[in-house]
Chain A
Amino acid sequence: MRINLNGSPVETTSRSLSDLVAEQGLNPLSLIVEYNYEVVKQASWGEIHIKDNDTIELLNFVGGG
């Protein structure tokens, strides 16, 4: 399956957003997931099934002025 992840095309076998976060080796505590331009709360990551051509952004807050 091919998705657009953080602006780049990526092949993934992840079925859900939870799988994808684990596959990417990211700390879920500070992570913000935007799925097709909608923010999905962590409690719902397991319920979102990834499809071909989905656009997913994995974000976090960082220092900034």
Chain B
Amino acid sequence: MAEDVLILGNKRFSSRLFTGTGKFASKTLIAPMLAASGSQMITVALRRVDPTADQGNILAHIPETVTLLPNTSGARTADEAVRIARIARAAGCGDFIKIEVITDMQYLMPDNHETLKACRILAKEGFVVLPYVMPDITVTQQLYDAGAAAVMPLGSPIGSNRGLEMRAMIQRIIEVSKLPVVVDAGIGRPSQAAEAMEMGADAVLVNTAIATSEDPCLAGKAFSLAVMAGRMAFLASLAGTRKGATASSPLTGFLRE
């Protein structure tokens, strides 16, 4: 099989499992998780300093070979997302940015309208824009026109581990999108990651399920294998289901004539 890489911006990713740095019991688990999972891109967030909290630098726990994907979490408008993105880049985090604009505090559903506005601005400024969106075909096309590098529809609410509740819409987006599709949020089990990849997603982003497991290294590895298995199954174009049986062994008699 030819080398199967995902190209985003000017970078090539052989691992289609993107990870996140949130919710780890200890930051020291992040580097071993990255090594175990082979993930080549990981999200970070930007916050006002809390003088009473641990000020250890999370970036110090991420190997330089791994691409940083700062997110704009906390942004409630396009302007706030743009500001966070510019700060992250000025702070040396590179050109990748996950746009995340949320005003719905119950389900943390993204605001597609503000996200699209931010994408238009940031793509023009040379960012590699990965927008986190509610699955929507029209918005997917508009994000393509706006210069996004990928589209990241949610599987289910952030941190919910509910898997692909948006399955049907994600399937349609995969079918029509001219952008790579990265299923982000809600993937709670390796089988759900595999399912997304079998459907033809280009990558998945998993944070909570890995970070909050009892063994993030083992969980990271399990997700990595699931993503690879799902990807291979997609590339192999598995046959569809049937109503009845079709024999996989010859039905002629063996001992009987």
Contacts and interface: CB of A to CB of B under 8 A. Distances in A.
Interface in B31-61: 43-49, 51, 55-60
Interface stretch (A9-17, A45-53, A57-65): A57-65
A65 B87 contact: no
Contacts of A32: 46, 87, 90-91
Contacts of B90: 32, 38-39
Nearest to A6: B48
Contacts of A60: 46-47, 49, 55, 57-58
A39 B88 CA distance: 9
Most buried by A among B23, B51, B158: B51
B147 interface: no
A38 to B, nearest CB: 8
Given A60-B46, A62-B44, 4 more contacts: A32-B90, A59-B46, A61-B93, A62-B21
Contacts of A7: 48
Nearest 3 pairs of A and B residues by beta carbon? A64-B45, A65-B207, A65-B20
20 contacts: A25-B51, A30-B60, A31-B49, A34-B87, A39-B91, A58-B49, A59-B47, A59-B48, A61-B59, A61-B93, A62-B44, A62-B58, A63-B21, A63-B24, A63-B27, A63-B45, A64-B73, A65-B20, A65-B22, A65-B205
A17 to B, nearest CB: 14
Interface of A: 6-7, 24-27, 29-32, 34, 37-39, 57-65
A1 B223 CA distance: 53
B115 interface: no
B135 interface: no
A34 B90 CA distance: 10
Contacts of B49: 6, 24, 26, 31, 58-60
A64 B21 contact: yes
Most buried by A among B21, B185, B211: B21
Contacts of A65: 20-23, 43, 45, 71, 73, 158-159, 185, 205, 207-208, 211
B48 A61 contact: no
A63 B49 CA distance: 13
